[in-house]
């Protein structure tokens, strides 16, 4: 076919040259120590698919407190400076965990916020998270019915005593909001995996006959009905083309025991959950059309690894049915990473996954802090810390909130990586968004963490390294120091290069 200079071809040519370029961030400063990137129905910053250069060179993406997210530069292995202050030595033969991925949660509130935008802006949110030119998220957490980030309190069967689950039905929140967005996300990234968690059983199945925590346990007579309820949820989503890669035994079971918890939840003892998994959930999933769906447990704070999981796994059948253990990030600073290491060594066939993180600062002036770099730093440090201790992925909480941290029936007060302003048909990509992208975009599923040793105990530089399935090397480095220092990266197979990292900057470095 002869190529003619038609109007369409000229447009195609312009479009494709344009598409290969990064679309720059339109930044805005709200005075919170950093900037957001502003997107709307016709404009959004993007980072094109990258190509890792031939052996001898590397590419480097940088984001920092003063803007310019994910800006790319190239460099070469030039032997570096062997007397630099810090030497990061890659030891590719020492390998650790295999990565599952990174993502966020499609809560009711997130879906309602995204859907409050014009079609074009919705598309830009989804492309930002799931597209090739975006963060390439490959995990999405899906709540089973209501959570604290819903606009009302509900489950899928709020009819007292409906033990046959005849009246079970998905809600508008699923059919109108979450499902269409999840379908679109899956189109954008076919490698996307969904995993689900229920916050509570319907009230009538519980000892407190109530949706909230307050010592509400599942009544033993409903153990099987509740397992059937979860299968029904999976059946209905499957009819919409959405299969669950994994299912949680329930969100934050320990909070259910605490009297002060005032949102949707259900309490479990380790023995109770073990019996339910061994006798009900496990066998019911095995017999169902979802026999490939994995079960993971805990889905609660790290500090609870020590006793909850240990006691639960005294039931060997429950342990056998359980493929993984999920942790949340709240209070990570107060609990030792030894718990992750020990859990890994005690149960090395169970994966560890971080399934919820969000900034919660009750003493801040506003719950959502637009542009705040300090919050991105908290994310970065927690992601690196978890990856350094056997965790196979890291999943943010609400994919989108509004400026008042809502809508949420309980007026919860968390921040989010994307904040939606429906009045202006705009949304804001926060530093936290780019913090996660520095990992999610460059560390594909099945990458393996490899040893990256530091020449000295330098707490102001944090780093972690991976080999991708294509044998490319990915390093993520964060500089918290205000002191002048140089860092030399040393790879026994490739040579050395030396970097000067801007203050409060995150770098992702890739090479063959
Ligand atoms: C969308 O954003 C772009 C870039 O900032 C701007 O030029 C355009 O006017 C915006 N569109 C609307 C409708 O605000
Ligand atoms: C790279 O750095 C390491 C650590 O300082 C050093 O031992 C090695 O000789 C360097 N290699 C080259 C090619 O400069
Ligand atoms: C190498 O690093 C040392 C220590 O940071 C520094 O004193 C020296 O100037 C560096 N040399 C070069 C060539 O950058
Ligand atoms: C599995 O799916 C098929 C086809 O949709 C259905 O006929 C069958 O009843 C399902 N099996 C179970 C155990 O739910
Ligand atoms: C790991 O096993 C040891 C020995 O049984 C036990 O003392 C420890 O509490 C366990 N730790 C975790 C986090 O399971
Ligand atoms: C659990 O799995 C192990 C290893 O496959 C097996 O030996 C054991 O019998 C199983 N235990 C139960 C209670 O099924
Ligand atoms: C919470 O916000 C206040 C006020 O902005 C700030 O001083 C404090 O450091 C924040 N706390 C955390 C843990 O980030
Ligand atoms: C949430 O805030 C609204 C408006 O201030 C108030 O009417 C409502 O009672 C609050 N709900 C809860 C559960 O605190
Ligand atoms: C990656 O490297 C390993 C070990 O050197 C080799 O066995 C494997 O075939 C390589 N994979 C690819 C995709 O190049
Ligand atoms: C970290 O940032 C500070 C302040 O900009 C700088 O002086 C220092 O050299 C940087 N550290 C590294 C390892 O590049």
pLDDT digits (tens, 9 = 90+) for 28-81: 999 999 999 999 999 999 998 889 999 999 999 999 887 789 999 999 999 999
Q: Cβ(305) to ligand 5 under 6 A? A: yes
Atom of ligand 8 nearest to the CA of 411: 1
Rounded CA-CA distance 420/426 in Å is: 6
Rounded CA-CA distance 500/464 in Å is: 17
**What phi and psi, each to the nearest 5 degrees, are found at residue 222?**
-110, 10
Cis peptide, bond prior to residue 407, ω within 30 of zero: yes
Query: Model confidence over 243-290: pLDDT tens digits?
Result: 999 999 999 999 877 766 688 999 999 999 999 999 999 999 999 999
Give the pTM: 0.95
Determine which helix (DSSP H) or strand (DSSP E) holds 87, and give its type and residue range: strand 86-98
Question: CA nearest 394: which of 444, 356, 338?
Answer: 356
**CATH for 100-440 (3.20.20.80, 3.30.56.10, 3.40.50.920, 3.30.2270.10):** 3.20.20.80
Angle value at C-alpha 463, between 431 and 56, nearest 5 degrees: 105
Residue bearing the CA closest to ligand 8, atom 12: 410
Across 15-19, 79-83, 105-109, least confident range: 15-19
Q: Which ligand is nearest to the CA of 448?
A: 9
Atom of ligand 9 nearest to the CA of 471: 1
CATH superfamily of 77-99+446-512: Golgi alpha-mannosidase II (2.60.40.1180)
pLDDT bin (cut points 50, 70, 90) of residue 336 is very high
Query: Average pLDDT of the chain?
Result: 94
Angle value at C-alpha 142, between 375 and 422, nearest 5 degrees: 60
Q: Cβ(311) to ligand 5 under 6 A? A: no
Testing ligand 5's pocket by substitution, the residue of 314, 336, 339, 342 carrying the most ligand atoms inside 8 A of its CB is 342
- Mean pLDDT value of segment 359-374: 91
CA of 481 to the centre of ligand 3 (A): 18
Residue range(s) occupied by CATH 2.60.40.1180 in the chain: 77-99+446-512
Testing ligand 6's pocket by substitution, the residue of 277, 295, 316, 349 carrying the most ligand atoms inside 8 A of its CB is 316
User: In Å, how far from its chain's centre is CA 16?
Assistant: 31
Q: Which ligand is nearest to the CA of 412?
A: 8
Residue bearing the CA closest to ligand 10, atom 1: 503
Atom of ligand 2 nearest to the CA of 495: 13
Identify the burial level of 429 via C-beta atoms within 10 angstroms of its C-beta, where 0-12 means exposed, 13-18 middle and 19 or more buried: buried
So which residues are the catalytic ones?
252, 356
Q: Cβ(500) to ligand 10 under 6 A? A: yes
């Amino acid at each position: 076919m002869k190529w003619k200079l038609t109007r369409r071809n000229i447009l195609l040519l312009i479009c494709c040259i344009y598409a290969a370029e990064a679309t720059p961030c339109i930044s805005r400063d709200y005075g919170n120590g950093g900037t957001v990137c502003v997107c709307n129905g016709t404009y959004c910053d993007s980072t094109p698919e990258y190509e890792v250069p031939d052996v001898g060179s590397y590419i480097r993406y940088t984001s920092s407190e003063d803007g310019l997210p994910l800006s790319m530069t190239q460099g070469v292995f030039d032997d570096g400076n062997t007397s630099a202050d810090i030497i990061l030595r890659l030891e590719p033969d020492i390998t650790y965990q295999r990565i599952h991925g990174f993502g966020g949660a499609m809560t009711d509130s997130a879906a309602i916020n995204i859907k409050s935008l014009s079609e074009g802006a919705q598309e830009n949110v989804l492309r930002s998270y799931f597209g090739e030119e975006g963060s390439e998220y490959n995990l999405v957490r899906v709540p089973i019915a209501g959570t604290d980030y819903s606009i009302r309190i509900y489950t899928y069967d709020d009819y007292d005593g409906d033990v046959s689950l005849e009246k079970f039905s998905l809600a508008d929140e699923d059919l109108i909001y979450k499902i269409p967005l999840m379908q679109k996300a899956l189109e954008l990234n076919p490698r996307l995996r969904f995993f689900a968690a229920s916050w509570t059983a319907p009230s009538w199945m519980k000892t407190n006959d109530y949706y909230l925590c307050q010592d509400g346990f599942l009544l033993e007579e409903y153990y099987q009905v509740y397992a059937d309820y979860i299968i029904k949820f999976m059946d209905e989503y499957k009819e919409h083309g959405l299969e669950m890669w994994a299912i949680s035994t329930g969100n934050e079971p320990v909070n259910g025991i605490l009297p002060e918890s005032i949102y949707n939840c259900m309490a479990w003892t380790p023995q109770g959950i073990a019996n339910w998994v061994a006798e009900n959930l496990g066998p019911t999933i095995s017999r169902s059309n979802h026999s490939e769906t994995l079960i993971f447990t805990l889905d609660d704070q790290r500090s609870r690894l020590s006793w909850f999981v240990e006691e639960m796994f005294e039931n060997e059948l429950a342990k056998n049915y359980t493929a993984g253990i999920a942790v949340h990030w709240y209070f990570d600073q107060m609990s030792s990473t030894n718990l992750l290491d020990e859990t890994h060594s005690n149960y090395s066939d169970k994966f560890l996954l971080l399934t919820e993180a969000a900034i919660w600062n009750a003493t801040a002036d506003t719950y959502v802090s637009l542009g705040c770099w300090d919050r991105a730093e908290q994310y970065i440090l927690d992601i690196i810390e978890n990856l350094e201790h056997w965790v196979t992925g890291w999943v943010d909480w609400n994919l989108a909130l509004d400026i008042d941290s809502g809508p949420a029936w309980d007026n919860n007060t968390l921040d989010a990586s994307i904040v939606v302003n429906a009045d202006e048909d705009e949304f804001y990509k926060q530093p936290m968004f780019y913090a996660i992208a520095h990992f999610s975009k460059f560390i594909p599923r099945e990458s393996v963490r490899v040893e990256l040793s530091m020449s000295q105990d330098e707490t102001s530089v944090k780093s972690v390294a991976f080999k991708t399935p294509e044998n490319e090397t990915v390093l993520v480095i964060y500089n918290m120091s205000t002191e002048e220092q140089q860092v030399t990266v040393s790879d026994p197979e490739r040579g050395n290069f030396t970097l000067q990292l801007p203050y409060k900057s995150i770098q992702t470095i890739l090479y063959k």
